[in-house]
Amino acid sequence: MKFWRDKSLKQWGVYILMLMTILFVAEYFAVHHTIQRLNESERKIDYARSIQVKNQEIALQAQQFINGRKDLAAPLAADLEQQDHELQTLAKGGRMDGTDFFLTPLSRLPRITYDNLYPYWTRYKTGVHTLLTESETITLKATVAAPVDSLAAAAPEASSTAEGNPKYLQAKADFEAQWISVSHWYDKLIKDLEDEIASRQQAVLSWFAFFLLADVLLLGGLFYAFNRFVLSPIKRLEDNTANHAHTRDLPGNEIGQLSQRINQTIENLKDATDFVTAIGEGKLDMDYRQTLDSAYTQGKNKLADSLIEMQAKLRAMNDEERKRQWANEGLAKFVDILRSSNDNLTTLGDRVIAALVQYTRSNQGGLYLLNEDDANDKHLQLTALFAFDVKKFEQQKIKLGEGILGQTFLEKETTYLSEVPEEYIRITSGLGDAPPKSILMVPLKVDTQVYGIIELASFNSFLPHEIAFVEKLSESIASTLASVTAAQKNRNLIEQFKEQTEVMRSQEEEMRQNMEEMQATQEEVSRKEKNYLARIAELEAQPKSTANRAEIEALEAAWRKKEQEYRQEAEALQSKLTHSPKADDWELAVAVEQALQVNLKALQITQEELDRKTAR
């Protein structure tokens, strides 16, 4: 039993296939043989019936021969020989005339009947041959003696008489009885053959029933074996898998191998569940191999590989989130500092550099701002220096492009030094001094405008997220510096505006006086314009003369002089308005200037009129 238990399902399938093949082949040959025998029996009975029919034809022809059809003698003799040959073929077997079929010898019971039939047939055939070969009558010859009183001696006379042929008559008398006997035995032979057919038909049915029963038993056995060795283990495996339990003691076939893999999968799922639970609890540093599966090998357990990869990604995301939170908290902290100290650059620089050194765990930091007081001497001014939690301040001025710091300003890009020259800078404390391990220089810029440089020095390396934080913070610091610088410039402009306003107020009265004079002048011009026009009209009404021309020329000269005066006053006022800032107090002056322009235009029109009159 153990031999069969440990066989694989594939081997079971091969054995079952071989068994069913053998069984089906045996069934086929058995049924085929039985059907062949049945067909052969049917051919025999058909053959026997054809012989019986021919026997009846022979009897009919013999009767016709007896009745006078002497021409049937030859065909009848041939039919007798053919009938005898067919009976021999039926009994001993042989090829059926005119076909490709072969008959086997008769079986036991038909053979017995045939053995009884054949003597009757032989006598019947002999009787028919007698009828064919013997005549109906025979002639008898007799000798007659001469009379005594005959004068001469004479030979005795011969006489003949016809009598019925006893052989012929006997054959004729026995013909009908023999034919009936032969027909009777033919019927019995056919009956035996029919019984044989019925027996063989029953044998076919019996074989079918036997094979059907055998197939049912075989299928039942196969179902039992399939249920025991396949379905039951699979059901057990299914139930245990649904309950996440291991399945033991299964055969060593494919199902047993499958159960082992499912057991391993269940174990992997349990490990994965514990691993995911630990990750959900925040234990992102848990080692899968050391904690859960010491036999874990990368690439063999795809689920574990995916979970470990997920853990690495979550750890990276957690680190990124921690860095992002650190940066956001720092930005929020510095926003408060920038908001509370946005009115004084010195205070702002001190607080920013102190907080930045502490927040980035640096050891020293400096804030350099662009000094543009002298357009010919732009430089970076050290505004604040902080080291070891103590504010230090030293006067230091760096020209643009000088050293690494100056180059950073011009390039407008972050500079990170991980290998600091020995004498570049030293961080000092009460116990001594030492060069830093790394230096970070970040320009304070808004768009392309740079306002200064932040420099940090540390005994540790700056991480990428710390550098990114300082760069982002530098934008806020630069914006605040720009705002503070703009505010200071605005305050200076306001002071200048106040001073200019006082000057303008002092000039306002003068402008008012000038305006009054201009108004008076305008009135005078208007009055004289009317007089000139009236005079021109009078002159036009008078005949032309040299005196009138002289008077007109005098008027033109007066107009040119007055026009020149107005033009000079307008240009002077225009120049003064151009170089003075426009404000509400200057609106009146602008109005005066416009009035002068109008008067000047009026004078030009008058001059044109005078020219026209002169031309006449």
* Domain limits, the chain: 2-140+161-226, 267-321, 341-462, 502-615
Instruction: Please give the share of the chain, as a percent, with pLDDT higher than 70.
Output: 74
Q: Select the more confidently predicted residue: 157 or 139.
A: 139
d(CA 457, CA 326): 20
Contact 161, 48 (CB under 8 A): no
- Of 490-504, 536-550, 560-574, the range with the highest mean pLDDT is 490-504
Mean local confidence (pLDDT), 16-21: 85
* pLDDT score of 152 more than 80: no
* pLDDT score of 615 more than 80: no
Residue 376 has phi, psi (to 5 degrees) of: -90, -5
- Of 226-240, 246-260, 283-297, 381-395, the range with the highest mean pLDDT is 226-240
Q: Which of 167, 164, 172 is nearest to 139 (CA)?
A: 164
pLDDT at 139: 66
**Structure-block tokens of residue 538:** 């009078």
* pLDDT score of 388 more than 80: no
Is the Cα torsion angle 528, 530, 534, 540 positive or negative in sign?
positive
Contact 600, 567 (CB under 8 A): yes
Domain made up of 502-615: CATH architecture: Up-down Bundle (1.20)
Using pLDDT thresholds of 50, 70 and 90, give the confidence band for residue 171: confident
Tell me whether the CATH fold assigned to 341-462 matches the one assigned to 502-615: no
Mean local confidence (pLDDT), 306-311: 77
Mean local confidence (pLDDT), 240-246: 77
* pLDDT score of 347 more than 50: yes
**Degrees to nearest 5, angle at CA 458 with 316 and 317:** 10
What residue type is 582 in one-letter code?
K
Q: What is the tens place of the pLDDT at every residue in 203-223?
A: 888 888 888 898 898 888 888
* pLDDT score of 53 more than 70: yes
* pLDDT score of 541 more than 60: yes
Using pLDDT thresholds of 50, 70 and 90, give the confidence band for residue 5: low
Number of other residues whose CB lies within 10 A of the CB of residue 456: 26
Q: What is the tens place of the pLDDT at every residue in 476-533?
A: 888 887 777 777 777 777 888 888 888 877 777 777 777 777 777 777 777 776 776 7
- 3-class SS at 610? helix
pTM over 0.85: no
In this structure, the strands spanning 364-371 and 379-387 are: antiparallel
Q: Select the more confidently predicted residue: 271 or 361.
A: 361
d(CA 407, CA 280): 50
Residue 439 has phi, psi (to 5 degrees) of: -130, 135
Q: What is the tens place of the pLDDT at every residue in 400-457?
A: 888 888 888 888 899 988 877 665 665 554 444 667 888 899 998 888 888 889 999 8
pLDDT at 442: 92
* pLDDT score of 198 more than 50: yes
- Of 33-42, 53-62, 82-91, 462-471, the range with the highest mean pLDDT is 462-471
Domain 341-462 is found in CATH 3.40.50.10800: no
pLDDT at 151: 47
* Average pLDDT value for the chain: 76
Q: What is the tens place of the pLDDT at every residue in 157-166?
A: 555 666 766 7
* pLDDT score of 613 more than 60: no
pLDDT at 423: 59
CATH of span 2-140+161-226: 1.20.120.1730
Lowest mean pLDDT among 19-23, 59-63, 86-90, 304-308: 304-308
* pLDDT score of 186 more than 50: yes
Residue count (the chain): 616
Number of other residues whose CB lies within 10 A of the CB of residue 584: 7
pLDDT at 430: 43
